[in-house]
A and B are shown apart, each in its own frame.
Chain A
Amino acid sequence: MKSLNWTLIIPIVGLGVIGVTETALAHAAQLRYEIESTISVTATYDNGEPMANAQILVYSPDDPREPWMRGTTDDAGRYEFRPQAEESGNWTVTVRQAGHGDMITLNLDDSGTRADASTENSSDSSLFAGSADISLPQRLLTGGSIIWGCVGTALFFSRRRKSSSES
């Protein structure tokens, strides 16, 4: 009878000690981490001036018709949002102020990391999207060619007029 009591008491006391220890350990601090990318967009006019207090709409890949988030840019034309990592695909950001604005599409891959936003990226709503990437010298050269085309046309027709008046 006496030995039976001990065989019951020892496991019960043991469990009690472990239980108390577990409770005591729960007060230990823990650090966990999670990497979530924050997208920061900056809206400026083509002369570099920031679009302050412009309206921003963010569309998620799941529902490209209904805005996922709305907001306004700060004084520097900046706006930040954190897309949900599980929603990979094309996120669309639209900015608008007084009939001026732009639209950009960010492609976030499956891991939730930024696919094309690792470097500064800009987009233009123009159908000639590629022409937004033309460098300044190329742009100046093409602009100069257009102006020379106009001047050349002027010279051609003024010459023709002169020669016809002479003949």
Chain B
Amino acid sequence: MHIADGFLPAPVSLLGYALTGGGLWFSLRKISKTYEDPQEHIPKTSLLTAAFFVGSLINIPVPPSSVHLLLNGMLGVLLGYYAFPAIVVGLFFQAVMFQHGGMSTLGVNAAMLGFPALLSGYLFKLRLSFGEETPRRLGVFAFAAGASAVALSTLIFFGLIVTTIPADFDADLERSATFVLMMSQIPLIFIEGVFTSILVSFLRQVKPSLIEGF
């Protein structure tokens, strides 16, 4: 679900770079203000960036086509503000290595996955305002955060594609094909929600420090 080169008009690509620049600036500023030692979370960020980079290669067959993992919700939950830079770096390497996305659309793709990741981070943090944390509540919030990031990114993707169909193509045919693809993303929303929930519940038991503070 990456937008490749040549699929968006130049102003949209530029706007994507502007939004990504703003998102990076916001995230780095928040990181330096929020954490006493901003370098403390770099090891975890690096490892999850590698996981995100590989994640797009894992295809899940959803008839009639297949979808690949996005993992932006999981990054938001586990990395908080670090998720945005991690996504920018991961997408850059995905575009260069696997041609998933392109260099002109890197800004759009980063904004499309990065901002929902930040929102899922906030959503996961909301659990703290409900009093004492129970394993069940932790799992539910992790599911909601992991699933909502994918759902939001999917909506942004289809919004962008449907509104920028070039005049030469049959818009109705493209819209219906896009709608079919959107339907095939629905199982992925649940898969990623469940995956994030299991991962967070697992980390709570083996290394709770990894989910504290986010």
Q: Please determine whether A124 and B174 come into contact, CB atoms closer than 8 angstroms.
A: no
Dominant secondary structure at the A interface: mixed
Q: A interface vs B, CB < 8 Å?
A: 45-47, 49, 53-55, 57, 67, 70, 72, 96-103, 124-128, 131-132, 139, 142-143, 146-147, 150-151, 153-155, 157-158, 160-161
Per-residue 0/1 for B165-202: is the Cβ within 8 Å of any A Cβ (1 yes, 0 no)?
00011100110011011000000000000000000000
Task: Quote the shortest CB–CB distance from B109 to chain A (angstroms).
Answer: 12
A-B contact pairs, 20 of them (CB 8 A): A47-B59, A49-B65, A49-B66, A55-B169, A55-B173, A55-B174, A67-B168, A96-B169, A99-B158, A99-B160, A99-B181, A102-B4, A125-B102, A126-B95, A126-B103, A127-B5, A127-B102, A139-B98, A150-B46, A153-B46
Tell whether B122 is near chain A: CB-to-CB under 8 Å: no
Q: B interface vs A, CB < 8 Å?
A: 3-7, 37, 39-40, 42-44, 46-47, 49-50, 53-54, 59, 65-66, 93, 95-100, 102-104, 157-158, 160-161, 168-170, 173-174, 177-178, 180-181
Separation of A124 and B97 alpha carbons in the complex (Å): 12
Could you say which residues of chain A place their CB within 8 Å of the CB of B65?
Answer: 45, 49
Q: Please determine whether A99 and B39 come into contact, CB atoms closer than 8 angstroms.
A: no
Q: Please determine whether A151 and B99 come into contact, CB atoms closer than 8 angstroms.
A: no
Q: Please determine whether B174 and A125 come into contact, CB atoms closer than 8 angstroms.
A: no
| Contact partner, B97, options A55, A125, A146, A151, Cβ 8 Å | A146
Task: Quote the shortest CB–CB distance from B177 to chain A (angstroms).
Answer: 4
